[in-house]
Amino acid sequence: MTEWATSPICYYAKAVDEGQCCTFLSVTVYKPPDSVSIGFTNHSGPMFASHQYTLRCDVLNVAPIGNLIVTFYRGRTPLGPGKSKVNAQKKPASEVFTLSINASKEDDGVQYRCKAELQLGPEGPQPPPVVESRSLRAAVHYKPQHQGPTRHDPITVTAGDPLRLNCETEGNPGPSYTWTLLPASLLPPNSSVLSITSAASKHGGRYACSASNAVGTTTVTFHVVVKPNIIPYIAVAAVVVLILVIIVPGFLYKYICMGQYTPPRPGDVCCFRNQRGNALTANYRSVVQS
């Protein structure tokens, strides 16, 4: 078949004594596309989040183009069909279909494609002729984004305990990190995690973690409070109490004389209590000898 706009006529006679009749037959000559391709209009390379771009689907040499339906897909999700604006063309023709999209970080790595389908009605071929484009993988660049709040509540750590601050962010390209103990002390390393093995009072203060890539910078702040470790003080206090309650009374029993907290001399009168709690007096020599 080489005639794209053909109108065959069927001649017939209803009866022997009647004249000849004719009927025009509706014939649709169709041709699937030679190729279907997808790309972006006036753009190459990675996209940037929150920017608008235009997808284009090029369909070459299809007939009749008025019966062509083009559908864009994001992964397996259809983004809406598009119909040709040329309805009367019978011969093979080409057309570009477009769709505007707003790029987001969720689009990074998504596969876009388009499908061209000739819908020729119930009398046409079933299933309808379909030609699909190759998949186009989208790359979306976006500045680092912290999953939690950018300002944290105060973090309290006991002196001597480990301290770990995490400001991991998500970004494309992958971010680099800079830690600062405000106002101006730069800290190693270039990592999303800052670890201190044993926290001290000097480690208290406000920390700023800056995550940067070619698109932008996100800063996360931490407020660290290092409280003293009171366990050693409790131990010292316990020892002091032990000395005052158990050891010192033994010395006082032997050395308190007439209210004097000085070692007695021979002949001094010493006051003490016996095991029954009775008050007794004796001179120092008799106490020592007894």
Q: What pLDDT sits at residue 152? A: 76
Contact between 145 and 170 (Cβ < 8 Å): yes
With a CB cutoff of 8 Å and minimum separation 6, the contacts of 276 are: none
Structure tokens at 18: 């009647």
Q: How many other C-beta atoms lie within 10 A of the C-beta of residue 204?
A: 20
Q: What pLDDT sits at residue 22? A: 73
pTM, entire model: 0.67
Q: What pLDDT sits at residue 288? A: 41
Q: Return the residue matching tokens 């186009």.
A: 136
Contact between 43 and 66 (Cβ < 8 Å): no
The helix (run of H) or strand (run of E) holding residue 284 is helix 284-289
Structure tokens at 253: 């029993």
Q: What pLDDT sits at residue 21? A: 75
Equal CATH topology for 9-138 and 143-227: yes
All structural domains of the chain with their residue ranges: 9-138, 143-227, 231-289
CATH topology of domain 9-138: Immunoglobulin-like (2.60.40)
pLDDT per residue as tens digits for the range 275-290: 444 444 444 444 443 3
- d(Cα 212, Cα 217) in Å, to the nearest integer? 4
Q: Return the residue matching tokens 């000097």.
A: 202
Q: What share of the chain is helix, strand, coil (3-state, %, to 5)?
A: 15, 45, 40
Looking at the chain, how many residues does it have? Answer: 290
Q: What pLDDT sits at residue 185? A: 74
Q: How many other C-beta atoms lie within 10 A of the C-beta of residue 22?
A: 9
Q: What pLDDT sits at residue 59? A: 96
∠ CA 69-74-79 to the nearest 5 degrees?
Answer: 45
Q: Return the residue matching tokens 């604006």.
A: 85
Closest of 84, 80, 64 to residue 72, by C-alpha: 80
Closest of 192, 197, 205, 196 to residue 166, by C-alpha: 192
Q: What pLDDT sits at residue 289? A: 38
pLDDT per residue as tens digits for the range 200-214: 888 899 999 999 999
Query: 143-227 has which CATH code?
Result: 2.60.40.10
Q: In what order do the strands lie in the sheet with 52-62?
A: 35-40, 52-62, 93-102
Stretches in the chain below the pLDDT threshold 70:
1-2, 12-19, 184, 186, 188-189, 231-290
Specify the amino acid at residue 27.
V
